Structure 1
C-alpha cells in the first residue's frame, strides 16, 4: 500500500490549481490538508474545498502538518513559497516560472541544509518534456533553431519558462552562434525576438490559447518542426502527480521534469 502523502495547494482557485485539487482528491494515497489563498481565510463552507484556507503560507505550515506543497501561483509568490516550504521541512512541487539562477542556487542550498527534495517544473505536461528532449537531440545535427511559444494573454512572463528551458537544453549540444544574415536590421524593434546564444525566441499572447510551443530547425534543403500543444490544463496533471510521487523520495533540487523521466 502506498504511503499517505499530505498536501497543501497554493493557488487552488486558479485554473491550474482547481485541476490540482481534483487530482489530489481523486488519488487514493493523497490527502488535501489545507489550501492557501491570499484573498480569503476563515470559514471554508463557500469554497470548493473542505479543508482550512489560509492567506499566508507561514501561518498554514505553522498550523498544518504537510509532506508536500503544490504551488501554482505567480513567479514572485512561487519563489517565496518554495523557500518558505523548505524552511518548514515541506517538499515543494512548483509549477510557476521566473526563478533566477540565484534563486535556484539558494533553493538548492536549502534542500541540502534540510536534507529534503524540491521539484520546479517550467512545464508539467509530459508531451512538452518530450518535445524539449527531442529538440535537444535534433539540435546536435541541426543547430539553426528558433522557438515560438504561444500562451493565453493572462500569462505574466515572456518568454515562457518552457521556452527558456528548451533553449538551455539545446545549448548543451549547440555552440553559441548568430543566425540569419550578419547585416540584418530590425525595421521594428523586437521583430527578431529574444536572443539566447544566437537562438531566437518569440512569444505570442492571445486569448483562447492555453500552452503551445514549436521548435523550428533549418538545414540545407530541409526543415524540422517539433511542436507540443496543451488544449486543457488537465494535460499538466500527469506531471504534477509524477512530481509529487518523486519529490517525497529525493533530497535535492530537480529543475525540469526531463530529469526524472526516462
Structure 2
C-alpha cells in the first residue's frame, strides 16, 4: 500500500484524484495540504507546513506553479518522494527541485500531462520529427487554464526540436498571429469553453502532411497516469525524472 499526502485535494483535478485513490486497492490518501482550507471526513487537512504531523510515501501535488514550487521544496526536504503534476514551472525551477531531491535522497517526478494518449502523441511526434522537420503545435484547453502554452505543448515542441535531423524549410516568425516559438517550433494556444484538453501536431513536407492529435474529453482520462506516477515514483532510478513516458 502506497500512502499519499495530496496537495490541491479540493480543486477539480484534486477531487478526481482523491476519488481514484480511495477506489484503488494499492493507494491510500492519509492527509491533504490546502492553505486555503477545506475539510474531509476521511483524512486530516493541513493548512500550514508547520502543522503537518503525518508521513506518507508520496507527496502528490496538483496546485499552481508557485504552490508546487514551494510545496516541492518542503516535501523534498522533509522525507517525501514527490510527484508534481502542475505545468508552468521553468526548466531552472525543475532542475533546482531535482537538485534538492538529490541532496535529500528523495525522488521527484515531474509530469506535464498524465494522459496516456498525450504521452504517446509526444512519442509519435519524436519519431515523425526525424522525417518532417517542419511542424507546428496547437493545444486546446478550457477557459480556466492559466498557463499558455501548456506545459505539454512546450514539452512537445522541445521533443520535436530535439529529434529533427534537418533544418525546417519554414522561416521562423515573431508575428503575433503565429503564436509562441519554443526551440524553433511554432506553438498556438486556444482557450475556449467546451474543451478539456487536446493537442494537435501538424507536420508538413512537399506534397504531403501528417497530423497527430489526442483529445482528453474528461478528467477521468488522467487517472490511469496519476495512479502510475504515484505507484512508481518511490522506485525511480534517478532523483529527477521528467515525463510519464519514462514509465511506459
* TM-score bucket of the superposed structures, by smaller chain: over 0.9
Q: Which residue of 2 aligns with 1:254?
A: 241
- Residue 90 in structure 1 maps to residue 83 in structure 2: no
Q: 1:30 aligns with which of 2, 5, 27?
A: 27
Show the 5 A alignment for 1:146-225. 146-174=136-164, 177=167, 180=170, 186=175, 190-225=176-211
SS, match of residue 148 in structure 1 = strand
Tell which deviates more after alignment, 168-177 or 113-122: 168-177
Q: For residues 108-166 of structure 1, what are the alpha-carbon distances to aligned partners after superposition, in whole Å with 9 as ceiling and x for unaligned?
A: 21121122211110000011000000001001000100000010111111110000001
Match of 1:53 among 45, 49, 59: 45
In the superposition, the TM-score normalised over structure 1's length comes to 0.89
What TM-score comes out, normalization by structure 2 length? 0.94
**Bigger CA drift: 32-41 or 252-261?**
32-41
The SS at the match of 1:132 is helix
Contact 2:133 2:203 (8 Å CA) reproduced: yes
Q: After the TM superposition, which segments of 4 or more aligned residues of structure 1 sit over 4 Å from their partners?
A: 175-179
Among 68, 82, 85, which residue is 2:58 paired with? 68
Kindly tell me the number of residue pairs found equivalent between the two proteins: 247
- 1:227-246 equivalences in 2 (<5 Å): 227-246=213-232
Aligned to 1:11: 8
Q: Give the match for residue 143 of structure 1.
A: 133
RMSD: 1.8
1:79 maps to what in 2? Answer: 69
Q: Deviations over 1:181-236 (max 9, x none)?
A: 67x784xxx10111123310000001121110000000111111000000010111
Seen in structure 2, the aligned counterparts of structure 1 residues 65 and 20 have a Cα distance that, compared at 3 Å, is same
Structure 1 residues 199 and 179: CA distance shift in structure 2, 3 A: farther
What secondary structure does 1:69 align onto?
strand
Change (3 A) 1:58 1:167: farther
Which of 116, 135, 138 lines up with 2:106 in the alignment? 116
Asked whether the equivalents of residues 194 and 202 of structure 1 are also in contact (C-alpha less than 8 Å), the reply is yes
Bigger Rg, which one: 1
User: Structure 2 CA distance, aligned partners of 1:144 and 1:12?
Assistant: 41
Unaligned runs of 5+ in 2: none
The 3-state SS of whatever aligns with 1:172 is helix
